[in-house]
Structure 1
Amino acid sequence: MGDVTTAAAMLRGGPDVWNDAAIGSLAPAAAAVHAARHTAEAEALAAQGLWEQAYTHLRAAVRLHHVAGSATTGPDELDRLRREHAEAREQSRRDSLTASYNRRYLDERLAALLSDLADLGDDTVRTDGICVALADIDHFKQVNDTYGHLLGDRVLQRMVVELDAALPEGAFCARYGGEEFALVLPGRDLAEAVRLCEAARERIARHPWHELHPDLTVTVSIGVAHSDGRPTGVERLIGAADAHLYTAKQSGRNAVAYRDGRTGRVRLAGGAGRRRSIPQPVRTTG
């Protein structure tokens, strides 16, 4: 009786109070009863979209099922809940329109990469650092105003496909906001990141946009920033990429801008650097 009373009190106190000693004191039948209650609570919370709370109850139910053993058929239900939780977690990281990663994931993942740079266990990342590029669709407001927002949405969706097309392993694309996207390239030095971004710019310029509308053409401007392994923050790195993006825009758009590590001057990739005047921004972000 004492085991059941203790377990009931713990259930009222929430799933976090199930410590090893308390669970170990339960008989299998009692553990099965309380596992079922936590599973039901997890189901109810999941139905409301409260996935974090649901998963807390789910963890308690899993631990109780280990004690219950064959007294319950709960594990199948728990596996389903785990899959649903994983799917919901992935959906929470994705932009609903383009299916690329969203700003939340970008901020969290980039912060983790930068803070753990010295402990990633990857010599390439430690040596070459991390590059971040911001890509902005040129004159996108005119696309919406001229062809309508539905076609503008299709442009955004195709843009993600083109930006994703040649990303190396470990890199990812995220929608930064509106018509602006971020590319995160861990373990890539500045020269390779610029090459990848210039290839993406050319691929987008060559894309058959006329399939969406006979008169439609789309280009992007890109700013590339590099963290060479020294400590830096998300805002500082994004700020540098944004400053270089602004330079690409000022230089006539449809270009990739970056700061030359040797000269400290901002340059444009490819032939654009030889053909255009390049304004040098005030260096405020490193």
Structure 2
Amino acid sequence: MTALRPEVADFDSDGRSDEDRAASEGTGLVQLHESIAALLASRGQWRQAYQHLRSAFDLVYADQDEQPHVPEQLRREVDRLRREHAEAREQSLRDSLTDSYNRRYLDERLLDMVTDKGATADGLAIALIDLDWFKQVNDTFGHLLGDRVLQRVVELLQEELPEDAFCARYGGEEFVLVLPGVDASSGVEIAESARMRVERHAWASLAPGLRVTVSIGLAYEPPAGDAPNRPPVAPEQQLLRADSLLYTAKQSGRNAVAYREGGRVRLAGPAAGRRGIAEPRVAGY
């Protein structure tokens, strides 16, 4: 009688059939494609992510005569990954306390707005804002209320901003309003309106005796075509000039917007009548 023995080709060394082994490898490949797709999506490489999800889909239905038509399912999965990535990206660019943009976002946007020659395409106003006597607010009312003050100030600063403008936390109690595509006078008006909203807010509703004001330095860069011979101005220089004008607003009595017009430093609104306007810290500006 001839002995029966199993077909060697049908089983591997651990007792699995070729069919089971192929299924296991197929599952591993599907998982690999899905993992690669998630990694690519986290980097914003959506087309490549979709291709890997499509490969995973093809592997799952490889043994069927007619694959179901579900490309929409894959698109939804990529859209989900895109939304998750966008949400994570947005959170990384926000200040955790005030929900305004952070310094990282500010630096990235300013670089995008300035050409390689250091000029802006449509004009750019940058308002550097500092809360007046904020240390006294913390010392008198406590840091918890101080945090609420910062949050409310940001809300007030962001009211009525034009399209494409934004507010970012520069550090501590300093904030920046970036106003692209405005002319010089509009920039001053926007900054002065923001200052007035803070001054006129009902701060006593947070704590009796509380009063909050801000000082603002506004630097303006005209469109490239309006000043073809103007030396290149890097974003850091724009912020430095705004900081210099903020110093002027502080030294000239606080609760004011300082800006430059016709070669002279001026104060906006009611502060325009003050005497003894301080000179900016940056020489020649």
With normalisation by structure 2, the TM-score equals 0.76
Deviation at 1:63, TM superposition (A): 1.8
**2:201 corresponds to 1:200:** no
**2:183 corresponds to 1:189:** yes
Which position in structure 2 is the counterpart of 1:179? 173
Write the letter of the residue equivalent to 1:265.
R
- C-alpha deviations, 1:51-91, integer Å up to 9, x for none? x8843786533123445666556544333222111100011
Which position in structure 2 is the counterpart of 1:257? 258
Deviation at 1:166, TM superposition (A): 1.2
**2:139 corresponds to 1:140:** no
1:61 to 49, 60, 63: 49
2:217 to 223, 239, 244: 223
Q: Secondary structure at the match of 1:126?
A: coil
Distance 2:160 2:202 in 1: 18
Which position in structure 1 is the counterpart of 2:109? 109
Change in Cα spacing, 1:180 to 1:59, as seen in structure 2 (3 Å) is same
Root-mean-square deviation over aligned CA pairs: 2.8
Which position in structure 1 is the counterpart of 2:15? none
**Contact (CA 8 Å) 1:255, 1:269: kept in 2 or not?**
yes
- C-alpha deviations, 1:260-284, integer Å up to 9, x for none? 1x2x111100121113320223543
- Matched ranges for 1:1-286 at <5 A: 34=29, 36-40=31-35, 54-55=42-43, 60-66=48-54, 74-115=74-115, 126-127=121-122, 129-230=123-224, 231-260=232-261, 262=262, 264-281=263-280, 283-284=282-283, 286=285
Number of matched residues?
242
Identity %: 55
Deviation at 1:101, TM superposition (A): 0.5
Distance 1:188 1:38 in 2: 48
**Contact (CA 8 Å) 1:35, 1:64: kept in 2 or not?**
no
Write the letter of the residue equivalent to 1:274.
G
Q: Secondary structure at the match of 1:271?
A: helix
**Contact (CA 8 Å) 2:30, 2:59: kept in 1 or not?**
no
Change in Cα spacing, 1:57 to 1:135, as seen in structure 2 (3 Å) is closer
Structure 2: tracts of 5 or more residues without a match: 1-24, 61-72, 225-231
- C-alpha deviations, 1:174-210, integer Å up to 9, x for none? 0011000000000111111011111111111000111
Distance 2:48 2:28 in 1: 12
With normalisation by structure 1, the TM-score equals 0.76
Whichever of the two has the greater Rg, that structure is 2
Distance 1:144 1:236 in 2: 31
Distance 1:117 1:199 in 2: 32
Distance 1:285 1:40 in 2: 57
Distance 1:278 1:110 in 2: 29
Write the letter of the residue equivalent to 2:49.
A
Deviation at 1:227, TM superposition (A): 1.0
Change in Cα spacing, 1:202 to 1:166, as seen in structure 2 (3 Å) is same
